[in-house]
Amino acid sequence: MEASVALKGKTALVFSRSRGIGAAAARRLAQEGADVALTYVSAPERAAETVAAIEAEGRAGIAIRADSADPAASRAPSCRPCKDSEN
């Protein structure tokens, strides 16, 4: 499948648990051309599978351990993808 360019050059941050709807949203965003950062709580292997699917679309993906139900934990990841891409 050829990736769309609707979101090319954009980065999406998906707050989820890296499975179900969140994983599907992350994959779809990658198909539309976005690089995707996603959060997970306790299943790093599932998060890694989702990142692999994002990368298979030719996009950059990163999984960040953060509980989206915790407001303090949810604020920290929003800056990380940008900082990681600057290195």
Backbone angles phi, psi at 45, to 5 degrees: -70, -40
Q: Is the pLDDT of residue 21 over 70?
A: yes
d(CA 20, CA 1): 21
Query: Which among 74, 59, 68 has a CA at the least distance from the CA of 28?
Result: 59
Band (pLDDT 50/70/90 cuts) for residue 86 is very low
Torsion angle of the four alpha carbons 87, 17, 52, 34, in this order, in degrees rounded to the nearest 10: -60
Rg over CA atoms, the chain: 12
Query: Can you list the domains of the chain with their CATH numbers?
Result: 11-86 (3.40.50.720)
Chain centroid to Cα 55, Å, comes to: 10
* pTM higher than the cut 0.75: yes
71-83 pLDDT, tens per residue? Answer: 776 666 555 554 4
Reported as a single tens digit per residue, the pLDDT across 32-80 is: 999 999 998 888 999 999 999 999 999 999 999 888 777 776 666 555 5
